[in-house]
Structure 1
Amino acid sequence: MAFHEPAIGNQYAVNRAIPLKRYAVIGNPIEHSRSPFIHELFARQTGLAITYEKIKAPLDRFETTVREFFAQGGQGLNVTVPFKEEAFALANPNLTPRARLAAAVNTLWMDKGNLHGCNTDGVGLLNDLLRLGHSPKDKEILLIGAGGAARGVVFPLLEAGCARLRIINRSPERALTLHRHLVEQLPDLSPRLSCGSLADAGGPWDMVINATSSSLGQAAPDLPGNLYKPVSLAYDMVYGGQATPFMRQAAEQGAQTVADGLGMLVGQAAASFAIWHDATPDMEAVLTALRQQLRAH
């Protein structure tokens, strides 16, 4: 998807007379999130007056925290680990088709007094894979993880025409649960799907995507060798100023290209921004600014 809006700060000015609308990202942990930086740049591009903050919700008080946010005038929430599946349940039955297929939500908003949910993770990932020159079409893909992040991308990867998708997880039961959900929703996908434990990764693969949060804990998943074809991509949904543990592991094991999830983060944020504001921001400009910020720190 191409975007052709003006570069940051060039042609839009925020009207300070307009009351600031409140948005936030909610998760636990949340300190690492760059979403406020991204959405503030999007708002500057498009002349919108907003505030965007981080909210660390207690693990047992996600629903209460969300309801308090909207009761106090909040307009929209991005949802990150570990709450995407809880957000799905909370926004039901007002879910977009993408959210319903994923059974996970990363974008919440109110409409006519009702909470609505969407999942923009898949759009963000696909945009970034294409930017990197690695279309999923006809590729054999290994997906590590079976939580909310994985749920958001499985259908988009399959719809993009991947030849085979295997889901593995530290707890193979969770991988099996996700596999069953996928087949129940779209039985025709069954021949291209499989699942198992981390030790049952199989391979080699054209693409290996880490949808776990292991890199946040400065660890790589416990994976076997022989995962990568000669021309292959290892993609970590986690991002940082330097290569993540998964990226370093993949490079040592033979992945030709390694990438972090910064482009996916910006892409899913742009899709959320469009839902809330009906405006399309310039993703490339924000991605460049964000990468520069991370490297500076």
Structure 2
Amino acid sequence: MDNYLVFGNPIAQSKSPLIHQMFAEQTQQAITYTKSQPEEAEFKASVATFINNGGKGANVTAPFKEQAIQLCEHLTERANMAGAVNTLSFRDGKVYGDNTDGIGLVNDLKSHQVQLTNKSILLMGAGGAARGVILPLLAENPARIVIVNRTVEKAKLLATRFNDEKLSAIGYSETAETTFDVIINATSASLSANLPDLSPKCITEKTVCYDMVYGAELSLFLTWCAEHKARQVIDGLGMLVGQAAESFYIWRKVRPEQTQVLAKLRSQLQGVDK
């Protein structure tokens, strides 16, 4: 029986143990998956203890994703460019780090038949959540990705980090000047039920709007997008399941099917399945 867990603080709300338990049952993998809530100063020691106890891998969520990079002897390109790790693997006495958030987002968009190739994408926010999805989005060969942030300088710094001519940065006031095929909210605004200062002029009836936040109801942002006639609005529950599926594949070399897991989580969120 191989042991895995997720590190975070707080962590009580985490759905990762349930998701990975369902993946394991579906693929007949003999694993346990639990959760751990160390204090920030204890994170490194907690990982070391888990490794010493025979742990095979771990997911990492807030506030430890940046700290986790410092523990890794090997990083994937997407983890290095994201500046954050959400998947740790322990093999041959070494620590390997990856970031599966971006591929989780891209695969969720594709599962909703959202085209990204040659499309114009607006990415809202310039923090860790935005940074983690840029490389996988670029891999889909969009026409352009425009990063918008309250502090434009932060958005410009993020754009230059990736050194790609398809990336640019603007302030929210400039979103009134053009339209986008796909708009992705990677800000924390929805967590506090706030609306970013996005101009409704950048949304058309062909625009798909995505919010990384999920809940029983549509977020304020997605409700606002729907009111402004967006073609499709999608929350981040599929991204959560998708990033977990990619972590599971990294560890077990088996790709789980996500549809039933997503349906189970959705019914739980809506209070149908207690």
TM-score (norm 2): 0.89
Please name the residue that 1:237 is paired with.
Answer: 212
Residue 136 (str. 1) matches residue 116 (str. 2): yes
Superposition pairs of residues 142-157 of structure 1, within 5 angstroms: 142-157=122-137
Residue 121 (str. 1) matches residue 121 (str. 2): no
Residue 274 (str. 1) matches residue 274 (str. 2): no
Correspondence for 2:18 among 16, 37, 55: 37
Deviations 1:171-219 (A, max 9, x none): 3333222212101xxxxx22x2111334443532111101123323333
Distance 1:180 1:57, change over 3 A: farther
Counterpart amino acid of residue 56 in structure 1? Q
Q: Is 1:239–1:260's contact at 8 Å kept on the other side of the alignment?
A: yes
Q: Alignment RMSD, CA only?
A: 2.1
Equivalent pairs: percent with the same residue? 46
Distance 1:154 1:114, change over 3 A: same
Please name the residue that 1:194 is paired with.
Answer: 168
CA drift at 1:69: 3.1
CA drift at 1:116: 0.7
Instruction: Work out the number of aligned pairs and report it.
Output: 271
Please name the residue that 2:195 is paired with.
Answer: 220
Q: Is 2:175–2:201's contact at 8 Å kept on the other side of the alignment?
A: no
Please name the residue that 2:62 is paired with.
Answer: 81
Q: Distance between the aligned counterparts of 2:38 and 2:148, measured in 1?
A: 28
CA drift at 1:57: 3.9
Deviations 1:239-278 (A, max 9, x none): 1121122212222333221111111111111110011111
Correspondence for 1:252 among 224, 227, 233: 227
Counterpart amino acid of residue 292 in structure 1? S
Please name the residue that 1:12 is paired with.
Answer: none
Q: Is 2:156–2:169's contact at 8 Å kept on the other side of the alignment?
A: yes
Counterpart amino acid of residue 255 in structure 1? A
Please name the residue that 2:34 is paired with.
Answer: 53
Task: Provide the secondary structure at the position in 1 that maps to 2:71.
Answer: helix
TM-score (norm 1): 0.83
Please name the residue that 1:263 is paired with.
Answer: 238
Q: Is 2:56–2:91's contact at 8 Å kept on the other side of the alignment?
A: no
Q: Distance between the aligned counterparts of 2:109 and 2:126, measured in 1?
A: 20
Q: Distance between the aligned counterparts of 1:249 and 1:34, measured in 2?
A: 27
List alignment gaps of at least 5 residues for structure 1: 1-18, 184-188
Counterpart amino acid of residue 104 in structure 2? G
Q: Distance between the aligned counterparts of 2:216 and 2:17, measured in 1?
A: 17
List alignment gaps of at least 5 residues for structure 2: none
Please name the residue that 1:106 is paired with.
Answer: 86
Counterpart amino acid of residue 169 in structure 1? N
Deviations 1:104-125 (A, max 9, x none): 2211111111111011122211
Residue 171 (str. 1) matches residue 151 (str. 2): yes
Counterpart amino acid of residue 51 in structure 1? T
CA drift at 1:59: 4.1
Q: Distance between the aligned counterparts of 2:185 and 2:232, measured in 1?
A: 14
Q: Distance between the aligned counterparts of 1:66 and 1:199, measured in 2?
A: 44
Q: Distance between the aligned counterparts of 2:37 and 2:224, measured in 1?
A: 30
Distance 1:174 1:84, change over 3 A: farther
